[in-house]
Amino acid sequence: MPPTADLIKGKDVSSEIYSELSERISCLKSKGVTPGLAVILVGDDPASQVYVRNKGLKCEELGMRSITVRMPETTTEEELLGKIYDLNRDPSVHGFIVQLPLPKHIDEDKVIDAIDPKKDVDGFHPVNVGNMLIGKPGFLPATPAGVQQMLVRSGIETSGKHVVVVGRSNIVGKPMAALMVQKAKGADATVTVVHSRTKDLPDLTRQADILIVAIGKPRFITADMVKEGVVVIDVGTNRVDDPSSPKGSRLVGDVDFQGVSGKASKITPVPGGVGPMTICMLMANTVAAAENSIR
């Protein structure tokens, strides 16, 4: 299939948002406040290293303060919780995150619960999750918020459309569905969530006007699983072996881009799609946290 779909590029959408953020950062700085983001990285997962590095670089590019806290794989839960309590109390840190996944001996829920919701720029704390679900102000999780911004800023109507979310993780699938079903601009959709236990998943994905895929399975969604003209948002970033590449591997999404881009009207690439939007929305949340700190 020749690719007929238009690309929705994370770089393009995020650069629009970054120019808005730059103005707000200047304004904060004129009041003596430099937005500060801390990222805790436990262990040395290679993908996490890349994401955390990109977050730090973007902070610096925007003139924000960036702190990366690296802790060894052997860090105990108590040590990590201690670091979180320190950051909760540090007035120069407006927001912080603990990069996931964590080593298996650490309880992720306990860690997230320890973060001050006012500094939880990932939007993972139950208080922020709850506020999002009922449509109240709070930090929105970066990936779902980034996907929503891609849709809104690409002029894609969502009201009354059938959005099918593939995957039910706490960091993407579930909050994504909650956002799209809100009575709000960029939402008002009819939402179906499908997952590993769904009966006849392709029958449901074929009914999507907008298909959002976040399952972490390389090229899971194939052309026969989508309808002509669908808008496809591919959240997956899977590293797969590729002997023809100099690195021996490359990034692919959860969507078979080659096949699906012949049927879709619009599609996000991997890399260069949702990934950059995730980082952008984290920056936006951090700027908002800094603004909240002087209100």
Residues that bind ligand L34 (CB under 6 A): 50-51, 54, 97-100, 122, 142-143, 237, 251, 270-272, 275-276, 278-279
Residue closer to ligand L34 (CB basis): 131 or 190:
131
**Shortest distance (Å) from residue 220 CB to ligand L34:** 17
Q: Which of 58, 83, 99, 263 is catalytic?
A: 99
Q: Is 99 assigned a catalytic role?
A: yes
Q: Is 203 assigned a catalytic role?
A: no
Q: Is 122 assigned a catalytic role?
A: yes
Residue closer to ligand L34 (CB basis): 54 or 265:
54
Tell how strand 210-213 and strand 238-241 pair up: unpaired
Residue closer to ligand L34 (CB basis): 122 or 209:
122
**Shortest distance (Å) from residue 27 CB to ligand L34:** 26
Q: Which of 58, 119, 120, 122 is catalytic?
A: 122
Residue entry with tokens 């969604």 = 221
Q: Which of 55, 174, 263, 266 is catalytic?
A: 55
Sign of CA dihedral 186, 272, 20, 290: positive
- Give me 199's structure tokens: 């009966």
**Which amino acid appears at position 51 of this protein?**
Y
Burial class of residue 199 in the structure, from the number of CB atoms within 10 Å of its CB (0-12 exposed, 13-18 middle, 19+ buried): exposed
Element (H, E) at 210: strand 210-213
**Shortest distance (Å) from residue 251 CB to ligand L34:** 6
Burial class of residue 289 in the structure, from the number of CB atoms within 10 Å of its CB (0-12 exposed, 13-18 middle, 19+ buried): buried
Residues annotated catalytic, as ranges? 55, 99, 122
